[in-house]
Structure 1
Amino acid sequence: MAMLEVKDLHVHYGVIEALKGISMSVNEGQIVALIGSNGAGKTTLLQSISAIKKKTSGEVIFLGNNITSATPKKIVSEGLTQVPEGRRVFTGLSVYENLMMGAFLRKDKAAIEEDLQKVYTQFPILEQRKNQDASTLSGGEQQMLAMGRALMARPKLLLLDEPSMGLAPILVKEIFSIIQEINSTGTTVLLVEQNAKMALSIADYAYVLETGKISLQGTGSELADSPEIQKAYLGG
């Protein structure tokens, strides 16, 4: 069964139609990638799923519930959490305080502590720097913090918007292996990524977005082998 279904989604910025009838689904346990060039509508799609951006028409179904008009807070409480593009860590707050912000809707103190330890195991650097202001972290460390903060909400589905943006190649590899690790422990992942090659290498399924429409879809390996994709996105 599909964990997330997007049905005929249209989104406008003023008179400009940014999404032109997108239909897609994410099955439980999968890593699903959305690739496409800048301005194709990838971030708009994620933002409209998590109710940050208003939808013109269409439906979003999550775990069998219609969340089309739910608030962002309600959507997080249902188990859908987004790591925004550009990391957006809270500066002026420590690493630890940033992580706790991820758990702000939760009341289960013992389980929150347990999850904090899990995040520290996954990202040891965050434990080392837990008392530092989040703004003092490097780009890669901030990305890890943004992911750790999202995991503190115990998401069933994690939306990742451009996690590798602006990172050195060695860190990109590390972030992608962490995404696989998060997925292997039971969190489903929907990944928006400019780095098509890396995204397709870990994706069970992928969609290609072009100017607000899905132009191609298939398994990660099918798309990675497709001459069209190689030419457009993989420098083939």
Structure 2
Amino acid sequence: MLSVKDLHVHYGVIEALKGVSIDVNEGEIVSLIGANGAGKTTMLQAISGIVKKSSGDVEFLGQSIYKTNPKNIVAAGLTQVPEGRRIFTGLSVYENLMMGAFLRKDKKGIEEDLQKVYKQFPILEQRINQDASTLSGGEQQMLAMGRALMAKPKLMLLDEPSMGLAPILVKEIFSIIKEINAQGTTVLLVEQNAKMALSIAHRAYVLETGKIVLSGTGEELINSPEIQKAYLGG
């Protein structure tokens, strides 16, 4: 579904990604773990077209999106839930969700997907008319995920969904990610909570200073002594 090939990204003279290659197959949850500053967010933003790429290629559904406008990438079925939620303050929960569907014209389909989001996140229906800025951190994360689902994505990129959340909410968010995947959305997950990220991943990659240094199934990596020492406190 997604194939990133020898991707390089520079910020001025700093090389943030140094020839990264990963694949995400349809139906998978693929986790990308690594320390702060490893290049994880840059990777997602490069895939989404938000960050300019220096060289390499990104293919989605068999087509290169290397030079594709971010709006057209969303229209093709790839959406991103950004780090820090980035909900629209001053807009209601409902208006935030509708922003996710801004490229769609199928009114009936939009309404059906809205009801699906409310079923997935009942708290959002209860808060429908509230200013999104008044939601708790966990509720804002749910809103950001619901907004992305309103775009009807084939592939969802999730950037640090557990950031700043209490442990009980982290478990709930990861449970929801598994549900979203089970309902047919492929997921590429960037996450500092390596244990949780690997526990739900079909496959995973480890990114260090802009390079992929390890890959394998989630189970293989969670049981790897190297990973346990570096990321799991083992």
Question: Equivalent residue of 1:53, what SS?
Answer: coil
1:182 is displaced (CA, Å) by 0.1
| Matching residue of 2:202 | 204
1:146 is displaced (CA, Å) by 0.1
Question: Equivalent residue of 1:194, what SS?
Answer: coil
Question: Equivalent residue of 2:20, what SS?
Answer: strand
Cα distance in 1 for residues equivalent to 2:38 and 2:165: 22
Question: Equivalent residue of 1:140, what SS?
Answer: helix
1:13 is displaced (CA, Å) by 0.5
Question: Equivalent residue of 2:105, what SS?
Answer: coil
| Superposed counterparts of 1:51-62, under 5 Å | 51-62=49-60
Q: Displaced runs of 4+ in structure 1, greater than 4 A?
A: none
Of the three residues 148, 169, 172, the one matched with 2:170 is 172
> Is residue 91 from structure 1 mapped to residue 76 from structure 2 by the alignment?
no
Of the three residues 64, 67, 70, the one matched with 1:66 is 64
Cα distance in 2 for residues equivalent to 1:23 and 1:33: 14
Cα distance in 2 for residues equivalent to 1:23 and 1:95: 37
Question: Equivalent residue of 1:111, what SS?
Answer: helix
| Superposed counterparts of 1:72-151, under 5 Å | 72-151=70-149
1:168 is displaced (CA, Å) by 0.1
Cα distance in 1 for residues equivalent to 2:232 and 2:69: 37
Cα distance in 2 for residues equivalent to 1:53 and 1:84: 13
1:5 is displaced (CA, Å) by 0.1
Cα distance in 2 for residues equivalent to 1:7 and 1:51: 15
Of the three residues 17, 20, 29, the one matched with 1:19 is 17
Cα distance in 2 for residues equivalent to 1:95 and 1:202: 28
> Is residue 50 from structure 1 mapped to residue 48 from structure 2 by the alignment?
yes
The amino acid across from 1:181 in the alignment is E
1:206 is displaced (CA, Å) by 0.1
1:57 is displaced (CA, Å) by 0.3
Q: Which runs of 5+ in 1 are unaligned?
A: none
1:227 is displaced (CA, Å) by 0.2
Q: Deviations over 1:142-169 (max 9, x none)?
A: 0000000000000000000000000000
Give aligned pairs, total: 234
Q: Deviations over 1:29-77 (max 9, x none)?
A: 0000000000000000000000000000000000001100000000000
Two-structure CA RMSD over aligned residues (Å):
0.2
Cα distance in 2 for residues equivalent to 1:21 and 1:65: 20
| Matching residue of 1:216 | 214
1:100 is displaced (CA, Å) by 0.2
1:101 is displaced (CA, Å) by 0.3
Question: Equivalent residue of 2:129, what SS?
Answer: coil
Structure-1-length-normalised TM-score: 0.99
Structure-2-length-normalised TM-score: 1.00
| Matching residue of 1:189 | 187
Question: Equivalent residue of 2:152, what SS?
Answer: coil
Question: Equivalent residue of 2:148, what SS?
Answer: helix
Cα distance in 1 for residues equivalent to 2:127 and 2:48: 30
